[in-house]
Amino acid sequence: MTLSEVAAAAGVSVMTVSYTFNNPGRVAESTRLKVVEVAERLGFRGPDAGARQLRRRGGLRSLGLVLGESLDYIFDDPEATRFVAGIARECTRAGFGLTFLPTTGTADDVELIASAAVDAFIVWTTTPDDVSLAAVRDSHRPAVIHGGPAAEGFTLVSIDNRSAAEALAMEVWSGGSHPAVLCFPLDRSRDAGTHYGIDPQSVAFPVSRDRLAGCQDAAQALGIDWQRIPIIVCAHNSAEEGRDRVTSLLGAGAPVDGIVSMSDQLAVGAMEALKSLDLPVPQDVTVGGFDDSVPAREWELTTVHQSLLDQGARAARIALGVEKPGSKQDEWRLIRRRSSFRL
């Protein structure tokens, strides 16, 4: 159904129909009424958005958010949700829509992204070899990556995860002798399990990689052999999984007295496990997390404060061209709470 079909049926010119929809004041009321009536009867869907954009050259007025994770997962992660909320705030301000582009890891992603009706992209952290990253670059539209990887042609919005992890590990591990890491997935396979001596450079997910590197830095500074530190890799960022994995490792008798966790979620899971195992925090085990979320406050958890909301907003402003990229990284700071007081 097109303007011209409506025009034919109403016995007027195409322009009259166009005016009726875009500039009603310019047509006579009687004509307008007739056109509206005919359009209604024919079920005219209104001017085609693509054609209108083509003619007006006004852009699509929507921002694309490329998600390697399934959307369910994003919404299950409260901090990811904060990030999206930050983007959404700026989109609202700019009168833009926010288009989620859920990729599946298949070749279809390229088509999804190439043909996405959006003016710019924000890419949620992914691996350097992700095909959707290439698709975004090939689209030559403005693009911002959150978390990593740093890539040519993209602005990066992220804290310095390596330094933050090092500071956290120094706080949690010093004074102890049996450190452990509770870790995000290493790559798209999301294989879980406990490993030793992982080379951070071999890790695909940039956030996991950088934080592991920071832990390694801290181990070196503290004179701890990196090979001896258990790295408990979780498939998902949930308190449940943190709890279960810590329970099995420590329940099996592994000596651990300081857990650096890559999120507050996982850290809270660890603290739940420690509670069940009768290992008081911080007396027997110190714990630290990331994000300074609400549960971190409730559990008196030492954590790396950062604002995913602000980062989302900044990513959006850069993608929308409202803010210049700038080279400075986002802010973080270590929040010391009871969970890391070595008594």
Partner DNA sequence: CTGTTAGCGCTTTCAT
Partner DNA sequence: ATGAAAGCGCTAACAG
Tell me 226's DSSP state.
G
Q: For residue 264, give the H/E element and its range.
A: helix 264-276
Query: Which pair of structure tokens corresponds to residue 135?
Result: 């698709």
- The minimum distance between CB 225 and a second copy, in angstroms, equals 41
Selection from a second copy, DNA, none that 18 binds (CB < 5 to 8 A by kind) is DNA
Between β-strands 230-233 and 179-183, what pairing exists: parallel, antiparallel or unpaired? parallel
For position 4 contacting DNA by CB under 7 A, the verdict is: yes
- Choose which of 92, 202, 248, 276 interacts with a second copy (CB under 8 A): 92
Selection from a second copy, DNA, none that 4 binds (CB < 5 to 8 A by kind) is DNA
In sequence order, what E strands does the chain have? 62-67, 97-102, 120-124, 143-146, 155-157, 179-183, 193-196, 230-233, 258-261, 286-291, 302-305, 333-335
> Omega before 282 cis (within 30°)?
yes
For position 95 contacting a second copy by CB under 8 A, the verdict is: yes
For position 21 contacting DNA by CB under 7 A, the verdict is: yes
Selection from a second copy, DNA, none that 221 binds (CB < 5 to 8 A by kind) is none
For position 50 contacting a second copy by CB under 8 A, the verdict is: yes
- HSE at residue 200, side-chain half, CA atoms within 13 A, is 18
Selection from a second copy, DNA, none that 75 binds (CB < 5 to 8 A by kind) is a second copy
- Choose which of 13, 24, 75, 297 interacts with a second copy (CB under 8 A): 75
Q: Which residues pair with 155 in a beta bridge?
A: 144
- Choose which of 26, 41, 93, 275 interacts with DNA (CB under 7 A): 26
Q: Distance between CA 15 and CA 20 in Å, rounded? A: 8
- The minimum distance between CB 48 and DNA, in angstroms, equals 4
Q: Which residues bind a second copy (CB under 8 A)?
A: 1, 21, 39, 43-54, 58, 60-62, 64, 70-72, 75, 81-82, 84-85, 88-89, 91-92, 95, 97-102, 104, 108, 111-112, 114-118, 138-141
